[in-house]
């Protein structure tokens, strides 16, 4: 695996589905109860489409550009899945590098 760089981003994207409070009957459809399913087990072992993939398709169909949700491994952490193919010119996604430590273009890597 090639080396990688972990960075923070500043972004403005709207709309995004906020699922940080988790599943609550009456607010979310029953499918959302399986949001944290083991997608690998569903896809590779059971040979079924994981509920989280279906949820993603439904979110995209509503016009949302992502899902904000609590980390399964670290409940105080929050993750954001972005559907980047659906971002509009008004949406902003930029690397946060206030000290200018990261390369500005590919020539820095050669």
Which residues in the chain show pLDDT less than 70?
109-110
Q: What is the pLDDT of residue 23?
A: 95
CB burial of residue 77 (10 Å; 0-12, 13-18, 19+): exposed
Q: What is the pLDDT of residue 88?
A: 96
Q: Could you give the CA distance from residue 70 to residue 23 in angstroms, rounded to a whole number?
A: 11
Is pTM beyond 0.85? Reply is no
Task: Find, among 18, 10, 6, the residue nearest to 65 by Cα.
Answer: 18
Q: What is the pLDDT of residue 55?
A: 98
Q: What is the pLDDT of residue 100?
A: 86
Q: Could you give the CA distance from residue 18 to residue 12 in angstroms, rounded to a whole number?
A: 14
């Amino acid at each position: 695996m090639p080396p990688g760089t972990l960075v923070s981003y500043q972004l403005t994207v709207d709309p995004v589905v906020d699922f940080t409070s988790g599943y609550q009957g009456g607010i979310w459809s029953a499918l959302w109860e399986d949001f944290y399913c083991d997608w690998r087990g569903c896809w590779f072992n059971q040979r079924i489409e994981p509920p989280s993939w279906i949820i993603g398709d439904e979110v995209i169909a509503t016009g949302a550009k992502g899902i904000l949700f609590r980390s399964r491994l670290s409940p105080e952490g929050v993750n954001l899945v972005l559907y980047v193919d659906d971002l509009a010119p008004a949406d902003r996604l930029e690397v946060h590098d206030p000290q200018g430590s990261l390369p500005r273009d590919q020539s820095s890597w050669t």
